[in-house]
Chains A and B, each alone.
Chain A
């Protein structure tokens, strides 16, 4: 059973479209995250949710909107996609504060054309 699963794995879309990426974890973790990995492989946090509550909201365009219907799910909706949004988006979960690493999903490669 996949611990953190995100869909789709690949997404190719045109500029201006709206798209969503879904994430689910079956680890019972309270905290979930979205990270963006750019073309230079740099990983940067976008959002963090703890038990459906938004905890971290980094400087991200408001075209990006996370939604957490329950603590096992965290989706990412992106409006009016731009070329610069092309990246790999990772969902992750964690037991919370402490010496816990994150468990990552396999990533979604988003390509905006």
Chain B
């Protein structure tokens, strides 16, 4: 069974600085998809960025980018120019090519200080 591990329960960053959130996963599959979700205090789950395992190029969405290392089964999220509104829980998630199930990590709480 696939598992997703986020080893940083909490992280903090100063406004305008850069922070990287770690995620590792365990799978025997070669095709899959990876996601980062943000959950602010409002509770809403918001898709931040996605990566297809067959693509070598790292995904980028504005200030958010990933470092996808398939061999190492690592999928970290980099937030550049951090803003107060980035403060939230961040969840890494794995989705198998063959199933509908999204498997989440335990989350990292990000605090942003002015």
Contacts and interface: CB of A to CB of B under 8 A. Distances in A.
A97 B33 CA distance: 10
Given A106-B43, A106-B44, A99 B104 contact: no
Interface residues of A, number: 27
Interface of B: 33, 35, 37, 39, 42-45, 47, 50, 52, 89, 91, 93, 97-104, 106-107
B62 to A, nearest CB: 16
Interface of B is mostly: strand
A45 B101 contact: yes
Given A45-B103, A56-B99, A101-B35, 13 more contacts: A41-B39, A41-B107, A43-B91, A45-B101, A45-B102, A50-B100, A97-B98, A101-B47, A101-B50, A101-B93, A102-B102, A104-B44, A106-B43
Contacts of A45: 101-103
Contacts, number: 56
Nearest to A102: B102
Interface of A: 31, 33, 40-45, 48, 50, 55-56, 88, 90, 92, 94, 96-99, 101-104, 106-107, 109
A102 B35 CA distance: 10
Given A40-B106, A41-B106, A48 B101 contact: yes
Contacts of A102: 45, 47, 102
